Amino acid sequence: MNRPAATGVPAQAPRLQRPGWKDPRLVVGVLLVAGSVALGSWTVRAARQTVPVLAAVTDLPAGHVLTDADLRPVEVALGPTGERYLGSDDAVAGAVLARPVRAGELVPGTLLVTRAEAGLRTVAIPLSGPLPGDVRVGGLVDVWLLPAPDPAGKEATAPHAVAQGLDVTAVATESGAFGSGLGPGTTVEVRVGDADLPTVLGALAAEGDLAIVAAAVGPQPGPATAPAAAPATGTP
């Protein structure tokens, strides 16, 4: 039986070919890399992008009726949470704060309620003397009760705060004209929340004078003390 002669040369292995541009695997790989780069670039830009939102200029109490001067626009990077806060184009004048807001704090839209929802009432505080120069319509005031002297000669009760951080909505003189209230017989209208209403009405019926002073800006630690300067007073 005849056998083929051995040549001693191994069979040649097939050569690997470099994938061309028409290879679908190469196209998919290029697309994945390009997509990752684009997504990373977009994420970085989104993180650095700022939006104008509104922040409180000063400390604002709950029940405060906002004016345009109470808030200022600031540029901050908030990402998706930016929609929660009031933007610089939002109309806020006349809205009421449902809770206190500190100076510099961003104001969420969920904090704004109507006057009816906030439970505010307008109360007139009659005064016999002129108002301090820093009390004006749109500002915040504190109402104090200065108890009348005890007829039996006992020591009079010390003056004490009745309500604090009330919005002044109007100031009227005896003539009925609304203005700065520079003369005697001035009436100051303030907005009072349901929580303070019984105390304010009780002070109006109490024996003594009521005083109005401009509210201090910022948190005031410690117990309240009587105003140092003589405030405008009125007899309930």
Question: Of 3.30.1490.20, 3.90.180.10, 3.90.1210.10, 2.70.150.10, which CATH number belongs to 22-118?
Answer: 3.90.1210.10
Domain with CATH 3.90.1210.10 in the chain: 22-118
| N-to-C CA span, the chain | 138
Return phi, psi of residue 128, to 5°. -95, -20
Q: What is the pLDDT along the chain (236 residues), one digit of tens a residue?
A: 555 555 555 555 555 555 555 667 666 777 787 777 777 666 656 556 778 889 999 888 777 888 888 999 988 877 665 568 888 888 888 888 887 888 888 888 888 888 777 778 889 998 866 778 888 887 888 899 888 877 776 776 788 899 988 888 888 876 544 444 444 578 899 888 888 899 999 999 988 888 888 887 544 433 333 444 445 555 55
Give the residue ranges of DSSP H helices in the chain. 24-48, 115-118, 197-205
